[in-house]
Amino acid sequence: MKIMILGADGYLGWPTAVDLAFKGYNLMLVDNYLKRKLMSKYKKKPLVSSPKLNKKVSLLNKRKCNVDYSNIDCTKFINLNKLVASFKPDAVIHYAELPSAPYSMIGYDESWTTLQNNLQTTLNLIWSIKNLKKSCHIIKLGTMGEYGTPNIDIEEGWINIKHNGRKDKFMYPRQASSLYHTSKIMDTDLLWFYVRMFQMQVTDLMQGPVYGILENEFMEINNLHNTYSYDEIFGTVLNRFIVQATTKQPLTVYGSGNQIRGYINIKDCLKCIELAIKNPPDNGDMNIYNQFTEQFSVNQLAYKIKKALKKIDIDVVITKINNPRKEKEKHYYNAKNNSLMKLGLKPTLLTNDEIIKIAQYVLKYKKNIDKSIINPKTKWV
């Protein structure tokens, strides 16, 4: 099967490429390094740096993988259209979006860059696939944050509504709390519109905050690490907490810490991607799956880390700081996540061992940690 991965240099893109390459898929990796450029502009860096795709791909192909790469900018339609027409993918995994809520809230330029990059890439992909004149499954990484924190159960993508004696099925209401998350809502809407217009095949994976690293011998031996971010803009909460804990800094719980999210280990994210590849919707249909395995409040997460790391003699301090974001801190949260399990996902739960494994990885590269980039400076209002 020929698979194109947009955003193949990133935290999820690169491990996905390694995973699928060793499973024998024929891959085309695409990235224009926008995230690297922004990280360097805002003086942020990942825990361990890694080479660009040319080097990474040549190492994969030395191991008999079938992988090519291109560093085109997907916001330029001509480039993406040409690449799709020549590679003729059976599926495209679309990660090529700016993923940071804090980045999108810095100011006008950052909000526009997020909106423009994310929507233009999605629209260009839709039209490139339409021009291909062949069935091609778009697998788009969405986000649980599109739903926000409604006072009712969160369904998987769709909801049946009964109104004045009649009923119909609609997309579940979406109400995000950052411009980034709002750009993902607009993405979903675009895809759903064109599924109806062009009979496309789309899977939208509504992922919660992802954490951890892919333990992979090939990546380890060749120093081709995940881009594990821990800074205030590009790091997600669990990865940040582990870095704070291992450098003896207090875990920064924003506000009351009662905000609940659905979390997922990066290893499970890769399993979900393969399940999506193997279970495409019919033409003119859109699968929407909630991609998380467990729900916790930020406080519960912080205490889990404290408890686990005590076992390796790390004393964790937890502190509550003024919430730099505008989000509900006390709310109902009950999101469904049965679909991926029904397809075969066996969740990797956040056990003490899993937390310790991530901490041991971080400890190995402790000398690289820049403490000055951790504390939140970006405020929503």
Q: Is 143 in the site for ligand USQ (CB under 6 A)?
A: yes
Compute the least distance from the CB of residue 138 to ligand USQ, in Å: 18
Least CB distance to ligand USQ at residue 298 (A): 4
Q: Which of 114, 122, 143, 236 is catalytic?
A: 143
| Cβ pair 203, 140 in contact under 8 A | yes
Residue number with CB closer to ligand USQ (51 or 250): 250
> Of 81 and 183, which CB lies nearer to ligand USQ in the complex structure?
183
Give the separation between CA 369 and CA 115, rounded to whole angstroms: 31
* DSSP SS3 for 121: helix
**Shortest spacing between CB 183 and ligand USQ, in angstroms:** 10
Alpha-helical regions (H) of the chain: 13-22, 34-41, 53-62, 77-87, 101-104, 108-132, 179-198, 217-221, 237-246, 266-278, 298-310, 338-343, 352-364
Can you give the length of the chain in residues? 381
Distance CA 136, CA 28 (A): 14
The pair of structure tokens assigned to 364 is: 């190995």
Q: Is 259 in the site for ligand USQ (CB under 6 A)?
A: yes
Q: Minimum Å distance from CB 259 to ligand USQ?
A: 4
What part of residues 18-77 is at the interface with ligand USQ (CB under 6 A)?
Answer: none
Name the residue nearer to ligand USQ (CB basis): 7 or 99.
99
Does position 145 interact with ligand USQ (CB under 6 A)? The reply is yes
Whether 180 is catalytic is yes
Q: Which residues contact 56 (CB under 8 A, 6 or more apart)?
A: 14, 17, 50, 224
The residue from 25, 172, 180, 263 that is catalytic is: 180
Is-catalytic flag, 247?
A: no
Give the integer Cα–Cα distance in Å for 227 and 31. 14
Question: Which residues are annotated as catalytic?
Answer: 143, 180, 184
Instruction: Please report, as ranges, the residues that interact with ligand USQ according to CB under 6 A.
Output: 99-101, 143-145, 181, 207-209, 236-237, 240, 252-254, 259, 261, 298, 325, 327
